[in-house]
């Protein structure tokens, strides 16, 4: 199967420190942050900052200060902080999509492929190859608690036209395809895929912050999200 990550996948090697360049929409930046050391520090530090203090507290001025540059310089890389958020959120979804493709490649049994996908989506610890400057565990935290803010704006429709949410939609589309392999006649594969992708992250947020919305008590044990979603998907699909 040829896909957008072919180039990246070919670069995979046995050493863990591998540099995969995930494709990012060029409209998301003015100057490619991956192209300079300063740019990469912007990414690394904004991930740390947003994870710690939240997106509302995050400003270019503070980011500039903490990496020893100026506000004006950051504005030469990113139009505004919202675009930077979409940049890192997109990066996360692209990476998850890549992981899903990689990890299901060798499995042919459709039900088994579905279980693998759900395992990846609900995995607490970010797995896969490591990256120089992007801390995937922090990133996952950001996507869980700030991710929706990427599209919860007045300009969703225009941003969507500009394909800014393509990685998320591609991932959901891929998952929907896996569902259809299992039950080709199921009519709501996309809705179900979106539900699973969304809830695998939202239930994480609820477990940590509004635990009574889940069944895991106050133990904050996010591991039980997986059996719930697995049962949800397989019960539904089996029924068709």
Partner DNA sequence: TTTTCCATAATAGCAATACTATCATTTATA
Partner DNA sequence: TATAAATGATAGTATTGCTATTATGGAAAA
Interacting residues with DNA (CB under 7 A): 31, 36, 38-39, 57, 59-62, 68-73, 75-77, 80-82
Q: Of the two residues 63 and 233, which places its CB atom closer to DNA in the complex?
A: 63
CA 91, CA 23: separation in Å to the nearest integer?
A: 8
CA 175, CA 114: separation in Å to the nearest integer?
A: 8
Nearest approach in angstroms of CB 237 to DNA is 43
Nearest approach in angstroms of CB 25 to DNA is 18
Nearest approach in angstroms of CB 106 to a copy of itself is 28
Among 19, 80, 157, 221, binds a copy of itself (CB under 8 A): 157
In 54-155, which ranges are continuous DSSP H helix? 60-66, 71-75, 81-104, 110-122, 136-146
217 in helix, strand or coil?
coil
* Residue 127 binds: one of DNA, a copy of itself, none (C-beta under 5 to 8 A by kind): none
For the CA atoms of 193, 194, 199, 205, the dihedral, rounded to the nearest 10 degrees, stands at 140
Question: ∠35-45-160 over CA atoms, to 5°?
Answer: 70
Nearest approach in angstroms of CB 218 to DNA is 31
CA 77, CA 42: separation in Å to the nearest integer?
A: 9
DSSP 31: S
Among 10, 13, 212, 218, binds a copy of itself (CB under 8 A): 212
Q: Which stretch binds a copy of itself (CB under 8 A): 14-22, 36-44, 52-60, 85-93?
A: 52-60
First vs last Cα of the chain: how many Å apart? 27
CA 231, CA 71: separation in Å to the nearest integer?
A: 49
Residue 213 within binding range of a copy of itself, rule CB under 8 A: yes
- Name the residues that contact a copy of itself, by CB under 8 A: 53-54, 56-57, 145-146, 148-149, 151-154, 156-157, 160, 165, 168-169, 172-173, 187-192, 194-195, 198-199, 202-203, 206, 209-210, 212-215, 225, 227-228, 231-232, 235-236, 238-239
């Amino acid at each position: 199967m040829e896909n957008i990550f072919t180039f990246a996948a070919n670069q995979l090697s046995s050493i863990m420190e591998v540099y995969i360049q995930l494709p990012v929409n060029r409209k998301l930046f003015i100057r490619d942050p991956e192209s300079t050391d300063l740019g990469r520090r912007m990414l690394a530090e904004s991930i740390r900052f947003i994870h710690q203090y939240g997106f509302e507290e995050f400003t270019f001025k503070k980011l500039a200060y903490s990496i020893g540059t100026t506000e004006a310089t950051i504005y030469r890389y990113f139009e505004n902080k919202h675009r930077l958020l979409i940049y890192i959120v997109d990066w996360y979804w692209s990476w998850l999509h890549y992981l899903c493709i990689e990890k299901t490649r060798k499995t042919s049994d459709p039900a088994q492929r579905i279980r693998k996908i759900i395992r990846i989506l609900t995995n607490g610890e970010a797995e896969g190859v490591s990256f120089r400057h992007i801390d995937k565990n922090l990133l996952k935290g950001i996507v869980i608690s700030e991710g929706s803010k990427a599209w919860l704006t007045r300009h969703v429709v225009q941003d969507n036209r500009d394909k800014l949410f393509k990685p998320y939609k591609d991932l959901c589309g891929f998952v929907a395809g896996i569902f259809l392999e299992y039950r080709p006649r199921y009519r709501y594969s996309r809705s179900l895929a979106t539900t699973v992708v969304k809830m695998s992250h939202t239930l994480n947020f609820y477990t940590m912050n509004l635990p009574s919305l889940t069944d895991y008590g106050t133990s904050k044990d996010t591991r039980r999200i997986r059996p719930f979603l697995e049962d949800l998907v397989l019960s539904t699909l089996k029924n068709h």
